[in-house]
Structure 1
Amino acid sequence: MTQLQQRTHRLHRAWVVAAVAFVTLIGAAGFRSVPSVLIDPLHAEFGWARGTIGAAVSINLVLFGLISPFAAALMDRLGMRRVVSWALTLVAAGSGLTIFMTASWQLQLLWGVLVGVGTGSMSMAFVATVTGRWFVHRRGLVSGILTAAGATGQLIFLPLVAALATEYGWRTASIVVALAALAVVPLVALFLHDRPADVGTTAYGGEPEAAAVAPVTGSSAARALRTLRDAARTKTFWLLAGGFAICGASTNGLVGTHFVTAAHDHGMPHTTAASLLALIGIFDVAGTIFSGWLTDRVNPRILLGAYYTLRGLSLMILPSLFAPGVEPSMWVFIIFYGLDWIATVPPTVALCREKFGENAPIAFGWVFASHQVGAAIAAFGAGLVRDLQGEYDLAWLFAGGLCVIAAVMSIAVPRHRVS
Structure 2
Amino acid sequence: MTQLQTPTTLSVDSAPRHRLHPAWLVAGVGFVALLGAAAFRSVPGVLLDPLHEEFGWSHGTIGAAVSLNLLLYGLISPFAAALMDRFGIRKVVACALALVAAGSGLTVFMSQPWHLMLTWGLLVGVGVGSMSMPFVATITGRWFVRQRGLVTGVLTAAGATGQLIFLPLISALAHTHGWRLPSLIVAGTALAVTPLVVLFIRDFPSDVGARAYGAAPDSPVGMRVPAAGGASRALTVLATIARNPGFWLLAGGFAVCGASTNGLVGTHFVSAAHDHGMPPTTAASLLAVVGIFDVAGTIASGWLTDRLDPRYLLIGYYSLRGFSLLILPALLGPHTQPSLWVFIVFYGLDWVATVPPTVALCRELFGADGPVAFGWVFAAHQIGAALAASGAGVIRDLQGSYDLAWYLAGTLCGAAAVMSAVLRRAPQPS
Query: What TM-score do you get using the length of structure 2 for normalisation?
Result: 0.96
* Higher Rg: 2
The reply on whether 1:216 has 2:230 as its aligned counterpart is: no
Q: Whole-Å Cα distance in 2 between the matches of residues 294 and 406 of structure 1? A: 20
Q: Whole-Å Cα distance in 2 between the matches of residues 382 and 82 of structure 1? A: 36
Identify the residue that residue 15 of structure 2 maps to in structure 1: 7
Choose which of 156, 159, 171 in structure 2 pairs with 1:147: 156
Choose which of 277, 301, 304 in structure 1 pairs with 2:311: 301
1:31-46 to structure 2, matched below 5 A, reads 31-46=40-55
Q: Whole-Å Cα distance in 1 between the matches of residues 126 and 91 of structure 2? A: 15
- Shift of residue 6, structure 1, vs aligned partner: 4.6
The reply on whether 1:351 has 2:358 as its aligned counterpart is: no
CA contact (8 A) 2:174 2:182 kept: yes
Identify the residue that residue 234 of structure 1 maps to in structure 2: 244
Q: Deviations over 1:91-135 (max 9, x none)?
A: 000000000001000101100000000000000000000000000
The reply on whether 1:188 has 2:192 as its aligned counterpart is: no
Q: Whole-Å Cα distance in 1 between the matches of residues 331 and 325 of structure 2? A: 10
The reply on whether 1:133 has 2:142 as its aligned counterpart is: yes
* Misfit runs of 4+, over 4 Å: none
- Shift of residue 59, structure 1, vs aligned partner: 0.2
Q: Whole-Å Cα distance in 1 between the matches of residues 347 and 314 of structure 2? A: 14
Q: Whole-Å Cα distance in 2 between the matches of residues 387 and 156 of structure 1? A: 30
Identify the residue that residue 49 of structure 1 maps to in structure 2: 58
Choose which of 252, 267, 277 in structure 2 pairs with 1:267: 277
The reply on whether 1:403 has 2:400 as its aligned counterpart is: no
Choose which of 186, 202, 206 in structure 2 pairs with 1:197: 206
- Shift of residue 217, structure 1, vs aligned partner: 3.8
CA contact (8 A) 2:61 2:113 kept: yes
Q: Deviations over 1:142-162 (max 9, x none)?
A: 010000001001111111110
SS in 2 for 1:137: coil
Moved more, 185-194 or 370-379: 185-194
Q: Whole-Å Cα distance in 1 between the matches of residues 114 and 318 of structure 2? A: 35
CA contact (8 A) 1:27 1:153 kept: yes
- Shift of residue 415, structure 1, vs aligned partner: 1.6
Q: Whole-Å Cα distance in 1 between the matches of residues 288 and 228 of structure 2? A: 42
Q: Whole-Å Cα distance in 1 between the matches of residues 15 and 96 of structure 2? A: 32
Q: Whole-Å Cα distance in 2 between the matches of residues 366 and 157 of structure 1? A: 28
Unaligned ranges ≥5, structure 1: none
1:55-66 to structure 2, matched below 5 A, reads 55-66=64-75
Q: Whole-Å Cα distance in 1 between the matches of residues 154 and 160 of structure 2? A: 10
SS in 1 for 2:16: coil
- Shift of residue 7, structure 1, vs aligned partner: 1.9
- Shift of residue 166, structure 1, vs aligned partner: 0.6
The reply on whether 1:393 has 2:400 as its aligned counterpart is: no
Identify the residue that residue 131 of structure 2 maps to in structure 1: 122
1:327-338 to structure 2, matched below 5 A, reads 327-338=337-348
Against the structure 1 CA distance between its residues 418 and 91, is the aligned structure 2 distance closer, same or farther, given a 3 Å change threshold? farther
Q: Whole-Å Cα distance in 2 between the matches of residues 271 and 284 of structure 1? A: 20
Aligned CA RMSD, in angstroms, stands at: 0.9
Identify the residue that residue 317 of structure 1 maps to in structure 2: 327
CA contact (8 A) 1:52 1:104 kept: yes
Identify the residue that residue 256 of structure 1 maps to in structure 2: 266
Q: Whole-Å Cα distance in 2 between the matches of residues 22 and 236 of structure 1? A: 29
SS in 2 for 1:22: helix
CA contact (8 A) 1:309 1:403 kept: yes
Q: Deviations over 1:325-384 (max 9, x none)?
A: 100000000000000000000000000001000000000000000000000000000000
Q: Whole-Å Cα distance in 2 between the matches of residues 47 and 364 of structure 1? A: 39
Choose which of 168, 175, 189 in structure 1 pairs with 2:177: 168
CA contact (8 A) 1:352 1:364 kept: yes
Q: Whole-Å Cα distance in 2 between the matches of residues 339 and 217 of structure 1? A: 37
Letter in 1 for 2:130: S
- Shift of residue 72, structure 1, vs aligned partner: 0.3
The reply on whether 1:17 has 2:29 as its aligned counterpart is: no
SS in 2 for 1:52: helix
Identify the residue that residue 287 of structure 1 maps to in structure 2: 297
Query: What TM-score do you get using the length of structure 1 for normalisation?
Result: 0.98
SS in 1 for 2:193: helix
CA contact (8 A) 1:357 1:418 kept: no
Q: Whole-Å Cα distance in 2 between the matches of residues 234 and 14 of structure 1? A: 32
CA contact (8 A) 1:231 1:237 kept: yes
Identify the residue that residue 368 of structure 1 maps to in structure 2: 378
- Shift of residue 411, structure 1, vs aligned partner: 1.2
Q: Whole-Å Cα distance in 2 between the matches of residues 205 and 13 of structure 1? A: 12
Identity %: 69
Against the structure 1 CA distance between its residues 177 and 244, is the aligned structure 2 distance closer, same or farther, given a 3 Å change threshold? same
Unaligned ranges ≥5, structure 2: 1-6
